[in-house]
Structure 1
Amino acid sequence: MQRTFLSAKLHRVTTTAVELDYEGSCEIDGVLLDAVGLGAFEQIQIYNINNGNRFTTYTIRGKDNSGVISINGAAAHKVNVGDVLIIAAYGIYTEKELENYVPRLCYVNDQNVLTKISVNISL
Structure 2
Amino acid sequence: MQIQVMKSKLHRVTVTEADLNYIGSVTIDEDLMDAANFIEHEKVQIVNINNGERLETYIIKGVRGSGKICLNGPAARRVSPGDLVIIISYGLMDFEEAKSFKPTVIFPKEGNKL
TM-score range, shorter chain: over 0.9
Residue 49 of structure 1 aligns to which amino acid in structure 2? I
- Confirm or deny: 8 A CA contact 2:35 2:106 kept in the other structure: yes
Aligned to 2:51: 51
Aligned to 1:30: 30
Aligned to 1:107: 107
Alpha-carbon separation, structure 2, partners of 1:71 and 1:99: 33
Please identify runs of 4+ aligned residues in structure 1 that moved more than 3 A: none
Aligned to 1:118: none
TM-score by length of 2: 0.96
Alpha-carbon separation, structure 1, partners of 2:110 and 2:33: 17
Among all aligned residue pairs of Structure 1 and Structure 2, give the percentage whose two residues are the same amino acid. 43
What stretches of structure 1 of length at least 5 have no aligned partner? 115-123
Cα deviations by residue, 1:39-97 (Å, 9 ceiling, x for unpaired)? 00100000000000000000001011000000000000000000000000111110343
Aligned to 2:93: 93
Q: What's the CA shift for 1:98?
A: 2.3
Structure ranking higher on relative contact order (CA contacts 8 Å, 6+ apart): 2
SS of residue in 1 equivalent to 2:110 = coil
Alpha-carbon separation, structure 2, partners of 1:19 and 1:33: 20
SS of residue in 2 equivalent to 1:108 = coil
Aligned to 2:80: 80
Residue 25 of structure 2 aligns to which amino acid in structure 1? S
TM-score by length of 1: 0.89
Alpha-carbon separation, structure 2, partners of 1:95 and 1:51: 33
RMSD in angstroms over aligned alpha carbons? 1.0
SS of residue in 2 equivalent to 1:4 = strand
Alpha-carbon separation, structure 2, partners of 1:95 and 1:5: 10
Alpha-carbon separation, structure 1, partners of 2:22 and 2:40: 16
